[in-house]
Amino acid sequence: MVAYACNPEGTGEHWLGWGWAERAAAAFHVYLIANTNHRAEIERHAVHHGIEPFFVGLPTWYKSLTNRFSKLGNWLRQTVWQWKAARLGRQLHKQHAFALVHQTTFHTFRIPFRLTALGIPSVWGPIAGGEYVPNGFGRYIGPTRFSETLRGLANKPWLLFPPLRASLRRASAIFVSNHCTLNFLPAWCRSKCQIVPPNALQDTQIQTTGAAPRRHHDAGTFHLLFVGHCAPTRAIPLVFEALRQSRLTDYRFFIVGSGAGLPFWQREAARLGVVGNIEFVGQLPQAKLDPYYDNADVFVFPALRDSGGSGLLEAMSRGLPVVCLDWGGPGEMVDDASGIKIAVSNPRETIQNLKRALEELHDDPQRRQSLGVAGWKRAHSMFVWDAKSRILESTYGRLIGDK
C-alpha cells in the first residue's frame, strides 16, 4: 500500500491515508510505503496492527527548492517522491512477491501510480481532481476566478501525460471520489471505476446509541452554519445572495473557519447588505465546535469545486440537516433523504432554489428533523470504516481470489 499522506494521529487526507492501511491490515498482511514526515506516529501505531512500514523521504535542499514554486513545486515534489516510492516497491516485490498493490494517497489523478507496472492486481484511489467550477459561477469565487480558469484549461492536458495514461490503463480497479472526476477520466477506463467517497468518520464522531435528538425551534432565530476551510471555491456568497433575496429576517449565519476566501466573503456580505446577520467566527479547535453544531438548524455547504467536505460529514453525523450543491463530492455524500441538493444549472436558478430551500427549512421544523435523522443514518452506515473495509475486501477478493 502506497500512501504519501499518512498519519494515524493526523486529520484530513493524512488520517484517511492511514485508515485505509489499518483497515486492510485486519484481513491482509500490509506493507506500507509512506512519507518520512510522520514516521514516528506511523511506527507507533503500525506495531499494533501488524503493518510493516517503509519510508521514502526527499532531500531537504530539494524540498526547499520546490517550495519556491507553489503548486508546480508541490507537484514536482510529489512526483519525485512517487518515483522513489516505486523504486522501493519494486525492490520489496522481489523479496515478498506481493499479491496486490494499492495507492491510496495522493487523492488526485495527477500523480501517476507507477507501481501498476509490477504486473500484479492493482487498485488506485480514491482519486479526485476532475472537479471544476461550472460555467457562469466564476463571480462567486472572487479573486481565484482566474486561477480556476487556468486550472480548468490545464486539467485535460494532464491526461496526455504518458505515465498517467499508463497508470489508468494498467490499474485493475480505480476508486473515484465523485461523478465529476469519473466523467472527466477517459471513457475507455471508466468500466473499472467505482465511486468511493474518501471521507470517513473518526471514532470520536461515531455515536452508537442512536441519532441524538436535535432541538429545532418552531419560532425564534433561524441558525445557519458553515464549518470548514474557507476556500474561495466553497462559494459562500451564493448563500449571501440567496438570503438577500429571501423573505428571511430572523436568521443568524455562523461561518467557522479561516482561509483565503474569507476577505472576499466579508466584502460580499457587506456589499449585499446581509453582514448584520453574519458572524465570522474564525478558526476554532475541534473541542470548541460543539455549541455551533448543537445550536444550528441547518448546515450549508455551497461548494463549487470540492471532492468531499469533512465539516459536511460531521454535520450529518450530528443529525444536522444539510443544504449543498449537487456537484462534486458533496453531491455523492448527501442523498435526497438526508439533505437538499441544489442543481448548478446556472447562477440565477441555483440561487433561487437555494433561497427556496432555506425558506422551506425555516418554516418546517419537522422537515429539518427528518432530514437530520436520515443524514445521521447515512453518515453512520456509509461513512464509517466498516463500510470501507467491505469495499476493500470485496475489491481485493475479486482481484486476487484465494491468494
What mean pLDDT comes out for the span 188-194? 97
DSSP state letter for 255: E
What mean pLDDT comes out for the span 318-329? 95
What mean pLDDT comes out for the span 235-261? 96
Residue written as cell 474518501? Answer: 198
Q: What is the pLDDT of residue 113?
A: 96
Q: What is the pLDDT of residue 266?
A: 97
**Domain ranges across the chain:** 2-128+159-200+384-400, 205-381
Cα-based torsion angle of the residue sequence 397, 333, 79, 41 in order, rounded to the nearest 10 degrees:
-80
**CB within 8 Å of 149: residues ≥ 6 apart:** 138
Backbone Cα Rg of the chain: 22
Q: Is residue 240's pLDDT more than 90?
A: yes
If we measure between CA atoms, which residue out of 159, 162, 160, 135 comes closest to residue 149? 135
What percent of the chain has a predicted confidence (pLDDT) above 90?
A: 82
For the domain 205-381, what is the CATH superfamily, name and number?
Glycogen Phosphorylase B; (3.40.50.2000)
**Could you tell me the three cell numbers for 116?**
501498476
DSSP 102-123: EEEES-STTS--GGGGGSS-EE
**How, if at all, do strands 2-3 and 101-105 pair?**
parallel
Q: What is the pLDDT of residue 209?
A: 46
What mean pLDDT comes out for the span 52-57? 96
User: Measured on CA atoms in the order 217, 221, 222, 225, is the torsion positive or negative?
Assistant: negative
CATH topology (fold) of 2-128+159-200+384-400: Rossmann fold (3.40.50)
Per CATH, 2-128+159-200+384-400 and 205-381 having the same topology is answered: yes
Residue written as cell 503548486? Answer: 71
pLDDT digits (tens, 9 = 90+) for 136-165: 999 999 989 998 998 888 898 999 999 999
Q: Is residue 327's pLDDT more than 50?
A: yes
pLDDT digits (tens, 9 = 90+) for 347-399: 999 999 999 999 999 999 999 999 999 999 999 999 999 999 999 999 999 99
Measured CA to CA in angstroms, residue 152 lies from 93, 135, 157, 332, 347 at distances of: 38, 11, 10, 21, 19
Q: What is the pLDDT of residue 321?
A: 95
What percent of the chain has a predicted confidence (pLDDT) above 70?
A: 95
